[in-house]
Structure 1
Amino acid sequence: MAGFSAEHERVVERLRDGMVSGVLSFPLTSFTENGDLDPDSYRAYLAAQLATAPGAVFPACGTGEFSALDEDEYRAVVTATVEIADGRLPVVAGVGYGWAQALRFARIAEEAGADALLVLPHYLVEAPESGLVEQLRRIATGTRLPLIAYQRGPVAFTPEGLRAIAAIPTVIGLKDGHSDLDRLQRLTLAAPDGFLFFNGAATAEIQARAYATVGVPAYSSAVHAFAPEIADACFAALRSGDEATVTKLLRDFYVPLVELRDRVPGYAVSLVKAAARLRGLPVGPVRAPLTDPGPTDLAALEHLLDTGLALVGATRRPA
């Protein structure tokens, strides 16, 4: 892509290679029972996650409760991720809020050795597209790291806006969480050659086949955070064209998971963390304003987890 430095080109190529080799991992952040960051548990959990060879790792993003972390905690999470990844796969750290605060986190991520940044939707205010572009431009001027924009919630780009952010030399891609395939197809057609696109729907496997039809096969997987066996089996089936396996996993695991997720706001993270705890993974509870599931929903989640693992021949306790 025109205007990219050699360093940024290497990041793009590593991400592109990772997108076709595995799901994109968005790890949970480990807390103690009283809500403190638990760095040792996070390291143990992340090491197990990365042993399953995801395509890239995105610490301190939505699934990692970015909005609940202070700057020191964020530094600890990103630093640990870079150390454990040890250059084996790209590390893309989340940043967010307004551009001034996003830059504070961006500089921490840069110092920690992250490869790129995922710019999460800004906080609270509605904004015109020109403001969304300026937000990215201001972040880009304050860090050498390449940026991936995340359109979700109040952030949605038109083809004209996509061309404007793609003209920012360090913006390398777009993660989409709106699932508006008509709009997304227009964006992919407006993008320059080499621009990266990611499926960032809440449970991306549900829509992975549809996204692939508009040229966006790469996706993040919340399920990978607690059951990489299921996530990897679905990814492999999608890539090989094994429609029977994809359909069975969607029908018997993913769709019921989404139905359970939709019962309570915030369950997109809370259920993922609860499922990880059911597998003995050291992640702890969620932080307020999120809430952990109650006994009824936890029992339903436990049954669903066992069903999904049985579908792919795995057991409750990870190897």
Structure 2
Amino acid sequence: MKFQGVLFFPVTPFAADGSLDEDRLARHIGSGVAAGAGGVFVACGTGEFHALTTDEIERATRVAVTVTAGRVPVLAAAGGPVPVARDQVARIGAAGADGLLLLPPYLVNAPQQGLVRYVEEVTAATALPVVFYQRGTARLTEQTAAAIAALPRVVGLKDGIGDIEQMQRIVRAVGQVPGKGDDFAFFNGLPTAEMTALAYRGIGVGLYSSAVFAFAPEIAVAFHRALEDGDSPLVRTLLDEFYGPLVRLRDEVPGYAVALVKAGVALRGPAVGGVRAPLVDPTPEHVARLAALIDHGLEVVHA
């Protein structure tokens, strides 16, 4: 499974009664694919994985598979307790996904060999390719990363920690795993990953998840193209005038890495409802600031 371009992490729309809105999810995903998404990661972090039932994850996956119709890979998230994650991966496979994003166990601080065991036990329940997400309670040594990469179904590692020096070690260690090498995919999975894209590219990690693509694909695609083409002036302008201010706004309230993205989608359509607890929706003032940032970002890329 090969990834390229901007990776799309859609939000999960909710209807007025709080239920999963499959029709609006289909519209949201369809517009993202039409805008040039290189892959769809449904019901993941931006999609409020933490607040979804296993049934909702399965339904959201089916929507994504139907809408994409094989045009780009579809991955969905699993994670948490091993029995729950195994149930999730089975349902995701039945829904027709191309792969899985495996999130770490929560609240439990495990030794390194326990993290390998966790990935091994969950991936044993599926035939799908798996990308493991390093974040939270899963902080890998290079030896552990290599052991996880050596597992039969693991095809990638997404980093949500941001330790560039350690990621360099991990990239080099995984590169020595027989049969993985160039075929193994590394992802920059930090919030607003564009802010660190240049640093990650320097250690050989060119793929990244773009939350901005969910609400402003024009900006996300223009930034990605500027990176690929070596258009340093546009990269710097977008970092200084759009992404930097966006991150400062995001950091004002915990959980805005998701809630602010969802508000951005609602600003430009379709309506996707609010976020589920424990997150909170952005204040009207913050939504207004977000709208102004989006307008300015669009002006920059269309200049």
Deviation of the 1:84 alpha carbon: 0.7
- For 1:10-89, list aligned pairs within 5 A: 11=1, 15=2, 18-19=3-4, 22-89=5-72
Q: Does residue 1:275 correspond to 2:258, yes or no?
A: no
- For 1:1-319, list aligned pairs within 5 A: 11=1, 15=2, 18-19=3-4, 22-191=5-174, 192=177, 193=181, 194-313=183-302
CA contact (8 A) 1:33 1:285 kept: no
CA contact (8 A) 2:57 2:76 kept: no
SS of residue matched to 2:30 = helix
Question: Which runs of no fewer than 5 residues in structure 2 stay unpaired?
Answer: none
Q: Deviations over 1:41-74 (max 9, x none)?
A: 1111111111112111100100001111112211
CA distance in 1, matches of 2:237, 2:197: 14
SS of residue matched to 1:117 = strand
CA distance in 2, matches of 1:38, 1:170: 32
Structure 2 residue identity aligned to 1:181: I
CA distance in 1, matches of 2:130, 2:67: 22
CA distance in 2, matches of 1:171, 1:107: 16
Structure 1 stretches of at least 4 aligned residues deviating more than 2 Å after TM superposition: none
CA contact (8 A) 2:265 2:272 kept: yes
Q: Deviations over 1:206-237 (max 9, x none)?
A: 00000000000111100001000000000000
SS of residue matched to 2:156 = strand
SS of residue matched to 2:127 = coil
Moved more, 188-197 or 236-245: 188-197
Deviation of the 1:120 alpha carbon: 1.1
Deviation of the 1:76 alpha carbon: 1.1
SS of residue matched to 1:168 = coil
SS of residue matched to 2:14 = coil
Identity over aligned pairs, percent: 49
Structure 2 residue identity aligned to 1:307: H
CA distance in 2, matches of 1:127, 1:72: 28
CA distance in 2, matches of 1:145, 1:34: 34
CA distance in 1, matches of 2:84, 2:34: 33
**Which residue of 2 is the match for residue 7 of structure 1?**
none
CA contact (8 A) 1:57 1:90 kept: yes
CA contact (8 A) 1:98 1:135 kept: no
CA distance in 1, matches of 2:129, 2:109: 25
Deviation of the 1:33 alpha carbon: 2.8
Q: How many residues align?
A: 297
CA distance in 2, matches of 1:308, 1:139: 41
CA contact (8 A) 1:44 1:282 kept: no
Structure 2 residue identity aligned to 1:121: P
Deviation of the 1:82 alpha carbon: 0.5
- The RMSD of aligned alpha carbons is 1.1
Question: Which runs of no fewer than 5 residues in structure 1 stay unpaired?
Answer: 1-10, 315-319
Instruction: Output the TM-score relative to the length of structure 2.
Output: 0.96
**Which residue of 2 is the match for residue 4 of structure 1?**
none
Q: Deviations over 1:265-315 (max 9, x none)?
A: 10000000111111122322111111101122112111111111111129x
Structure 2 residue identity aligned to 1:310: E
Instruction: Output the TM-score relative to the length of structure 1.
Output: 0.91
